[in-house]
Amino acid sequence: MLISRVLLASLASLPAAFAAPSAPCAPFVAQAQDEEALKKEYKERREKLGKFDLDAHLELARWCNGVGLKREYKAQLNYIVKEDPEHAAARKELGQVKFDGQWVAESQLEALKKKKEEDEYKAKGWTKYNGEWVDPADIPNLKKGLVKVDGRWLSAEEKSKLDQGWVFLEGELLPPDAGEKLKQGLFPVEGGWVSEEQADTFHAKWATPWQITEGLVRLRTNVKRKVALEKVFPELKLAYRRMKTIFRSTEPAQPIDLYLLGSINDFNKYAENTEIGAESSNYGAYLDAANEKRPVIALNDERKLRHHIGYAIALGYMDRVKEAKVVIPPWFQVAVAGYNDRFHDKTDRKWLIENSPYITGGLGKYADLFETFDPSQMEAESFLKAMSQLGLLVAYFVDGGNAKHTQLFQEAMQAVLDGKGADGKFRAIAKAAKELDEAVGEFLKK
């Protein structure tokens, strides 16, 4: 009986549990009514605006954002940028920024920058080393723990000294107190400080030359310091830049040692004590292959200074940038050096083509040069004729406009850098000798 009364009580409560829902709460009704009113007001405001009054549309967009009409806010902004894609204020409201001439979402900016950086470095042939993009040519120095500062490779000790205020003078680190002496125009000589004129006198002897480092070139010279800085280095930088272009921005792993002798007597005296090998020439510049430093030697001839420097820098650049195991044939070395000497400049080249007896007398066969060229066995006249012909060949490769022949040259240069397949690439050029005879002949007529 007790169970029945409990059951009846439970059943009696069911109608209340399943009663019809009550009316919506007042706040939700008000919110819906407010939103409808706002949308109506939005339409009224929009209809009053001129189609091209974009600043007014921007104000309306901001009003929408302020009252919570998010969809309308976005619609107004999209309308503005459709009419004026360069409307910066609307783009900013949309969270967009300009990158490489395109409007992109700000959230994508870092990823796009990273992708662009990666593409640019890969195009240069760079690679990742310890998480940083580096020139592959720098990796040997990086593995040694060296640091590159203003184009100069420094040991950890040198970098520490530089951070402590030490100063570089002509490639040598001097204590911090040397800075004041240098500002006074004084120079260190044998433990003391002297005027530039006195320093020039001291360094005029080849046994005690000036030593000046500029980027990846270490200059030793007995010319006056002012001449070195004002005449030599401008030509040196131009010659270096041309070689860097030819080698597609790949730079030597080690600095080039350039010895610039101040007079023909100094030049001849130096040459007497060296062994000039097949890589060199009887010209006013050559590579001293017998010296363990493998310096390039140049004569300070005022009329021919830029030619001698161009030639020397080319020889030194090729010697430093190539893989150690790569042998570059003498004809190819002289071809690139001759180009850097005088045939890179179109105006100079035109004059030489019309006036140089080494060209106007007719060019020889390239096959003969490729097979038998040996500078060490040539008289000056024969060498200058051969150098002219070979320099013109590189000028043709660079400026001739023949894609097939230009590719032969570029592949040879790349093989020099890669350290493999160079012999085959040089042979490929030699096989094209007959084609090149005709092509360079036509190139001279342009």
pLDDT band of residue 175 (cuts 50, 70, 90) is confident
pLDDT of 171 reads 67
| Per-residue pLDDT at 22 exceeds 60 | no
pLDDT of 21 reads 44
pLDDT, average across residues 89-96: 95
pLDDT of 8 reads 38
Residues of the chain above pLDDT 70, percent: 89
pLDDT, average across residues 402-424: 88
More confident residue, 158 or 204: 204
pLDDT, average across residues 373-381: 81
The fold adopted by the segment(s) 204-321 is: Glutaredoxin (3.40.30)
pLDDT of 422 reads 85
pLDDT of 178 reads 82
pLDDT of 24 reads 46
| Per-residue pLDDT at 389 exceeds 60 | yes
More confident residue, 29 or 338: 338
What the block records as the tokens of 333 is 């070395």
Residue in 406, 413, 369 with CA at minimum distance from that of residue 388: 369
Q: What are the residue boundaries of the structural domains of the chain, listed by start? A: 34-122, 204-321, 323-446
User: CB under 8 Å, gap of 24 or more: what pairs does 294-297 form?
Assistant: 294/257, 294/319, 295/220, 295/257, 295/258, 295/259, 296/256, 296/257, 296/258, 296/259, 297/259, 297/261, 297/267, 297/270, 297/271
Express each pLDDT in 247-289 by its tens digit. Answer: 887 888 778 999 999 988 888 888 776 655 434 445 788 888 7
**Picking from 207-221, 269-283, 410-424, which range would have the lowest pLDDT averaged per residue?**
269-283
Please report, for residues 95, 207, 332, 340, 386, the alpha-carbon distance to residue 392 in angstroms, rounded to integers and kept in the order given. 57, 38, 12, 10, 10
pLDDT of 32 reads 58
| Per-residue pLDDT at 106 exceeds 60 | yes
DSSP codes, 51-107: TT-HHHHHHHHHHHHHHT-HHHHHHHHHHHHHH-TT-HHHHHHTTEEEETTEEEEGG
**Picking from 147-156, 228-237, 277-286, which range would have the lowest pLDDT averaged per residue?**
277-286
More confident residue, 221 or 291: 221
pLDDT of 35 reads 86
Mean pLDDT of the chain: 84
Please report, for residues 224, 263, 344, 357, the alpha-carbon distance to residue 381 in angstroms, rounded to integers and kept in the order given. 32, 21, 21, 10
Q: At a CB cut-off of 8 Å and minimum separation 6, what does 159 contact?
A: 147, 149
pLDDT, average across residues 41-52: 88
pLDDT band of residue 27 (cuts 50, 70, 90) is very low
CATH of 34-122 given 1.25.40, 1.10.3470, 3.90.25, 1.20.272: 1.25.40
pLDDT, average across residues 13-33: 46
pLDDT, average across residues 143-151: 83
pLDDT of 362 reads 78
pLDDT of 308 reads 92
More confident residue, 325 or 335: 335
Backbone dihedral angles phi then psi of residue 217, each to the nearest 5 degrees: -125, 125
CB 283 within 8 A of CB 383: yes
pLDDT of 248 reads 80
